[in-house]
Amino acid sequence: MKKWMLYVGLGLFLAIPVYFWLPAFLATDSPTDYPCVIGRLLALAGFILILFQVLLSSRLKWLERNLGLDKMLATHKTAGIFGFGFMLAHPVLHFSSDLLSLGTVILKWPMIFGLVTILIVIVTVGSALLYGRLHLKYGMWKQLHWVNFIILPIIFVHSLLLGTEMASQPALVSFWYFLGALYLVLVAFILWDRIQVRRHPLQVTDVVQETRDTWSVHFKGQKPDHKPGQFMMLSMLRDGHMVEPHPFTISSSPTSDDLSVSVKAIGDFTSTIKDTNPADQVYIGAPYGTFSFLNYDAPNLVFIAGGIGITPFMSMLRYMRDRMLERNVLLIWGNKTEQDIAFKDELEKMAAARPSLRVVHVLSNQPDWPGEKGYVDLELLRKYLDGFENPQFFVCGPPVMMTKVIRALRQAGVPKMRIHYERFALR
Ligand SMILES: Cc1cc2nc3c(=O)[nH]c(=O)nc-3n(C[C@H](O)[C@H](O)[C@H](O)COP(=O)(O)OP(=O)(O)OC[C@H]3O[C@@H](n4cnc5c(N)ncnc54)[C@H](O)[C@@H]3O)c2cc1C
C-alpha cells in the first residue's frame, strides 16, 4: 500500500462521521450549544484516529512494505496526539456548553466510561510524550502503552450509550459496529503475529566480538526472506523468560546462509549481548523496513554511516559482492577512533576487489589519523561527491549525526526524494 492511499482511506473514514454530524451542526441555533456540537465531532473523529493508530502499530506486512515501520510509528504518534487531543477536548467542550446554557454540569452514569478513558489517556499519552524527561525505561513505557488497547472498547461503549448522533442515526451505529469489528480483527492479528513469531525459534551459533563494544550474533534456523538493509525484531530467551523484542538490522546478506545482527552495547539489553551463548534460543519477527538500495533503480549510491549505523550498509555491500552487482558506491563512515571501526578488513577486501566501491573513514577523536578527521559535514561531502552523478543517498547513524548530514545534503542541493534514512529508534 502507498502512503497516499493510506491518507485517502483515513480521509474517507473521517468524512463519514462528518456527514452524519453536519445536519445537527447546521440545525444548531443557540451559540451556547456550539461547543458541545463541535466536541461531538471531535469525539467521533478522535475514535477513528485512534483506530488508525492501532492499524499503524500493527506491523501489518502489506502496510509496512512501502511505508516502513519507523515512518508508520511516526504517523502513529501524530495520529495519537490529534486523536487523544480530540478525546480530551470533547468533555471540556461538552461541559462548557452545559455551564453556558444551564449554569451547571449535567452528569450521567455512562460518562464514567469517558472519565476512565481520560485518566488512562493522561497516564499513557503523558508517559509517551514525556518519555525522555521522565527517564522512563523503554520496557516500562511499552507496558504502559499496552494499556491504550482498552481505550477503544471503552469509548465504543460510551459513544453507543451517550452519543447524540448515534441515537438518531442507525446508519452511523452500523458504521460504528463495523469500526468495532475492524478493531477486533486488528487486535486478533497483532496477537496472532506475536504467536507466529514463537513458532519458529532460531538458535545462536556464534557470538563474535567486532570492536570493544560491538558484537555480531549469528543464528541458524528458518531464515526470513529479506532485502539487504532490512531489520528484524529480536527476542532472546534469558533465564527461561523471553526478553521483549528489540529491533536490529540484519547485517548478513540475503545471499548467504548466515543470518546475523551486529549489536553495539549501549543500554540494559544490548550490554548483555556479549553474554549470549551458542545454543541459546531466539525468536525473530522479520523482515521490516524499506531502507534498501534495491528499492531504487540507481547506478550511483552514497552510503553515509555513523557508528553502528553501518549495519544496513554491511548487508547491502555483502549482497552486492555476492551478486557481483556493479554499482558505484561511496561509503562515508564516521567513528570516534580506528578501534571503533568494525568489519575493517572485510571492507578493505571489498574495496580492493571492486574499484567501484570507495570507503572513506572519518574519525572524530583520533588526532593522529592520517585520513579524514572531524565529522561528516557539507565541506567533506562536497569534496567526495564531486563527479558522482545524481546518486541516491542513504543515511544511518546517531540522531544528531543524521540531522546534520541530512541538512548538509539539502544545503548541497540534493532533493529530499533522493535522501533515504533509517532512524535507529522506533519511538
Ligand atoms: C530499525 C532499527 C534498526 C536498528 N539496528 C541496530 C543495529 O543493527 N545494531 C544496533 O546495535 N542497534 C540497532 N538499533 C538500535 C537498538 O534497537 C537499540 O540500541 C536497542 O534496542 C537498545 O536497547 P537497550 O535495552 O540496550 O537500551 P536502553 O538503554 O534500554 O534503551 C535505549 C533506547 O533504545 C530504544 N529501545 C530500547 N529498547 C527497545 C525495544 N525493545 N524496542 C525498540 N526500541 C528500544 C529506545 O529508544 C531507548 O530509549 C536499531 C534500531 C532500530 C529502530
Question: What average pLDDT score do residues 230-252 get?
Answer: 92
Model confidence over 109-139: pLDDT tens digits? 888 888 888 889 888 888 888 888 888 888 8
Query: Is 427 a domain residue?
Result: no
pLDDT score at 217: 98
Are 216 and 275 members of one domain? yes
Model confidence over 374-391: pLDDT tens digits? 999 999 999 999 878 999
Domain boundary among 288, 323, 345: 288
- Give the atom of ligand 1 at the shortest distance from the alpha carbon of 247: 17
Q: What is the mean pLDDT of the chain?
A: 93
Query: Is 395 a domain residue?
Result: yes
Measured in whole angstroms, the distance separating CA 221 from the mean position of its chain's CA atoms is 26
| 230, 287 contact by CB (below 8 A) | yes
Which range marks the domain in which residue 207 is found?
A: 202-288
pLDDT score at 258: 93
pTM: 0.91
- Radius of gyration of the chain, Cα coordinates, nearest whole angstrom: 26
Question: What average pLDDT score do residues 329-358 get?
Answer: 97
| 291, 313 contact by CB (below 8 A) | no
Question: What average pLDDT score do residues 206-215 get?
Answer: 98
- Give the atom of ligand 1 at the shortest distance from the alpha carbon of 131: 49
Could you tell me which residues come within 8 angstroms of residue 162 by beta carbon, excluding any fewer than 6 positions away?
A: 108, 110, 111, 114
pLDDT at 427 over 80: no
Q: Is the CB of 134 under 6 A from ligand 1?
A: no
* Rounded distance from Cα 268 to ligand 1 centre (Å): 10
Least trusted range by pLDDT, from 39-48, 57-66, 246-255, 373-382: 57-66
For ligand 1, atom 28, the nearest C-alpha belongs to 267
Tally the domains of the chain: 3
Question: What average pLDDT score do residues 45-58 get?
Answer: 94
pLDDT at 1 over 80: no
pLDDT at 301 over 80: yes
- In the structure, what pLDDT confidence band is assigned to residue 197 with cuts at 50, 70 and 90? confident
Are 119 and 140 members of one domain? yes
CATH number at residue 179: 1.20.120.1770
Are 190 and 207 members of one domain? no
Q: Is the CB of 214 under 6 A from ligand 1?
A: no
* Rounded distance from Cα 325 to ligand 1 centre (Å): 31
Are 334 and 269 members of one domain? no
Are 26 and 169 members of one domain? yes
Least trusted range by pLDDT, from 180-184, 276-280, 318-322, 339-343: 276-280
- In the structure, what pLDDT confidence band is assigned to residue 70 with cuts at 50, 70 and 90? confident
Identify which of 90, 76, 92, 96 has the alpha carbon closest to the alpha carbon of residue 145: 76
For ligand 1, atom 51, the nearest C-alpha belongs to 424
Question: What average pLDDT score do residues 81-98 get?
Answer: 93
Are 66 and 210 members of one domain? no
pLDDT at 194 over 90: no
pLDDT score at 63: 87
**Which secondary structure element, helix H or strand E, spans residue 21, and what is its range?**
helix 3-27
Are 74 and 112 members of one domain? yes
